[in-house]
Structure 1
Amino acid sequence: MKQTLPIAASLVLAALAAPALAQGDAENGKLLAYTCTGCHGIPGYKNAYPSYRVPKIGGQNYEYLVTALMAYKNNQRPHPTMRAQAESFTDQEIRDIATYLASLADGGAK
């Protein structure tokens, strides 16, 4: 006799087998990422101290953005300004920001 899984179990297994997709609200992420443009949206911008080029984040990989922001939020990446920004967001807001920024193709944080 052939055994079948209940529909709910099949859906759970299918969801687990599916590739990871951005799980945020891009529209909310766009609103939240507005302050990011103050540094990340300026071509050739360099931070005053320590002096280094501020990277463009638009079009960056979703998983990378989530990982980086969570690391700032959890004090695992040392940058006082980024830590302060990341600490102000919930985990869902970080996913929203990452979803929006990953959707950009031009490298800017617009």
Structure 2
Amino acid sequence: MKTWYVVVSILLFCSAYFSVFALAKSSKTFSAGVIAQEQHFPIKELKLGNYARCTVISAQKEDAFYSACYLKREQKSNWIAESAGARCEIKCESYADSNGNISEHYFTTLK
């Protein structure tokens, strides 16, 4: 019975050793990263201003894979539109005034 415990203990020790060894080896050889996509079109920025909400209404893209429209919101609700090889139409809504009216403003970025 005592030999049985010794054999099981040795097997557990060996399996734990090889598990740790394999984990250590795999973490040394594994590397991950993001491969950046090539930029085919220059990015053009258009500062939109201080609005409650902005949305892209339409985008006329030169290329299906490399053209894009982006909207970024900076601090204090300042919006910036970025276009790369696309003509973007953007609608922004202002904050409600004292009467509860919301005005809409339309912008178009250049290709």
Normalised TM-score (structure 2):
0.22
Normalised TM-score (structure 1):
0.22
Which structure has the larger Rg over C-alpha atoms?
2
Greater fraction helix: 1
Structure having greater relative contact order (Cα 8 Å, sep ≥ 6) = 1
